[in-house]
Amino acid sequence: MGILVECPHCKNRLSPKRQSCKCGAHVKKMGGKSYWIEYYDDTGRRRRERIGPSKPAAEQRLREVLKARTEERHIEKDAAAKLSLGELIKWYKKLPEVLAKRSFKRDEKSIKRLTEYFDEHMKIKALTAGRVDGYREARLKSSSSRCPDQNIKPATVNREVACLKTILSRAVRHKIIGENPLARYEMLPEDNVRESDLDEEGFEKLLEPCPVHLRTIVTVAFYMGMRKSEILYLTWSEVDLKTGLIRLAGTRTKNKTARSIPIHPRVRELLQGLPRGLHTDRVFLHGGKPVKEFKNAFTAACVRAGLKDFTFHDLRHCAVNNLRLAGNDFFRIMAISGHKTMSVFKRYNKVNEKELQEVKWPEKTRTVDTNMDTTAKAE
């Protein structure tokens, strides 16, 4: 009863104390070894389980078996030693709660990146922190698809690793596996605050090369800070031109909280000039049909305007920052943008050097006497 090592050449299993195998291979110094555990179950039958390349994982499994025998419990074979990563991913993608996620497309992209690196036939037991470290290093060295001259950011890698941890945690919750091997795996530190600062002049330069159907959408994002999905699926029933407000239900917002957004005068004028659809209530149309996507058109407009590394979401950053510069208090801006926490709200605001130079000082300052009479005796 104990741990065995599988020879990579002849697949013979032997004690880890042995230096070499019968086939002549020097197993102790070889790489690519697999570890097994051998024990006797509650019926007295000898059992062997293949754990994988991790010796600590084999030692942990053996401790679990010994504990079960001591407590006179039935020894169950570790499901993580039998289940492959590919099988677990297929199970995860079929869950109704996963299919209903708003971020399901993002999950699919993360899973695609993960399966490009990890073998789908790899057992969950073999998924160690060291292997995930290797994945992170490889991803951080690869170039970004959006900016080929830049490498992948730590935040992107964190989202992919978080997706893997979520899959494992969901499997534990459904009792598919006993524990999450990456439960305590720490994420990379992130510094992905966007340096997006577009003034009125820069906005006009961006607006000029935009197609006609895209100009109103870009204007709404720049002045009112609405999210892309909130703008794309905006309906006339949500627009109240009389009161000058756009009212979004909780089902239409990211944080599932209803909010009202004041309409900027320039946006109001553009909305009044938009044609209504015959068979749809959607506001933004192209060729009589609702606009579904405009990524390529917006990217082309940014290139023509000379904007580098600028995304549509950066317009939301600009709107929030411009509302602050206009003198609005933070609570009113957060009510418009939909931010619930100050920490996230701060990421959307950038105090530049020009603002620092225009800081207001108190008109009268009280002179503080720093000269102390050290010769006076205490009474």
CA 193 and chain centroid, separation: 14
At 157 the pLDDT is 93
User: Is CATH 3.10.580.10 the classification given to domain 200-357?
Assistant: no
The confidence score (pLDDT) of residue 100 equals 87
Cβ 15 vs Cβ 4: under 8 Å:
yes
Q: Which amino acid, residue 250? A: G
Looking at residue 379, what is its pLDDT? 44
Query: Residue 47, Cβ neighbours under 10 Å: how many?
Result: 14
Q: Compute the distance between CA of residue 209 and CA of residue 190 in angstroms, rounded to an integer.
A: 34
pLDDT at 366: 57
Amino acid in position 133: D
| Encoded tokens for 370 | 């720093």
Q: Which two tokens stand for residue 302?
A: 């940014």
pLDDT along the chain (379 residues), means of 10: 82 82 79 82 79 81 80 66 90 92 90 93 88 93 81 91 95 89 88 71 92 94 93 94 93 90 94 89 92 92 89 91 89 90 78 76 62 53
